[in-house]
Amino acid sequence: MQEHAIKPEEIEEIIIKGDSLLQIPLRTGTRLEGALDIQFVNIFMFGLAPYFGSKPGPAWQTPEVYDLPEIKEMAEKVKVELHPQTDEILADKVKAGQKPGFRNVIVEIKAKGKTFETEVPEPRGGPDNPPRESELLEKFRNNASFFGLEPDRTEHIIELILSLEQLDNVTELMESMVIRD
């Protein structure tokens, strides 16, 4: 979406082509009843992405977000299919002595009268594409702000975590993470 300047309101359809795990009952629901559905039900996860994909976080799982009419409308535009090369990719991994886990995902977005497509061979954060430290720190800062931690306190926690091996006692770290009203 960023590469092609696609706005959510321009999207006609989102097609996700992935492994068979995307087809299990937990992921194929069509009703949104709470935060767990946002975490696991494909159409809602991918329906949120056009609005919040560049800044995921805990807010995704709040009723204020998942009850938005535009999220529900976007979820209706999502289709999930099996990746066309599933068998080949899995066979190649087994032949190479790798775990047969499947991560390749094709994302197609139909918008502006065109189809935009990209393939993600390994999602960010997977074992073959680990997140950079800067990404982890940004995620921590985002999540901490959601729970009301002040920026100075958040930075102190980060300093403690990054120097964990030098701490004689983790009490300071644990106490710094306690949220008091």
Q: Pick from 74, 99, 120: which residue ends a domain?
A: 120
Q: Among positive and negative, which fits the CA dihedral 14, 18, 22, 24? A: positive
Q: Which residues pair with 16 in a beta bridge?
A: 80, 107
The domain boundary residue, chosen from 73, 99, 120: 120
102 occurs within a structural domain: yes
In a domain, residue 128? The reply is no
Helix, strand or coil, per DSSP, at residue 119: strand
| Structural domain containing residue 70 | 8-120
- pTM, two decimal places: 0.78
In angstroms, the CA 64 to CA 58 distance is 12
- List the pLDDT tens digit at each of the 181 positions of the chain: 989 999 999 999 999 998 888 888 888 888 877 777 778 888 888 898 899 877 778 888 888 888 889 988 999 999 999 888 887 877 887 888 877 666 788 999 999 999 999 998 777 777 778 889 999 999 899 889 888 889 999 999 999 999 999 988 899 899 888 887 6
Which CATH number belongs to the domain containing residue 77 in this structure?
A: 3.30.1330.120
Q: Is the same domain home to 150 and 114? A: no
Residues 140, 59 share a domain: no
Contact 156, 176 (CB under 8 A): yes
- Report the pLDDT value the prediction gives residue 162, as an integer from 0 to 100: 94
| CB atoms inside a 10 Å sphere around CB 46 | 21
68 with 150, same domain: the answer is no
Residue (of 16, 9, 12, 11) closest to 117 by Cα position: 16
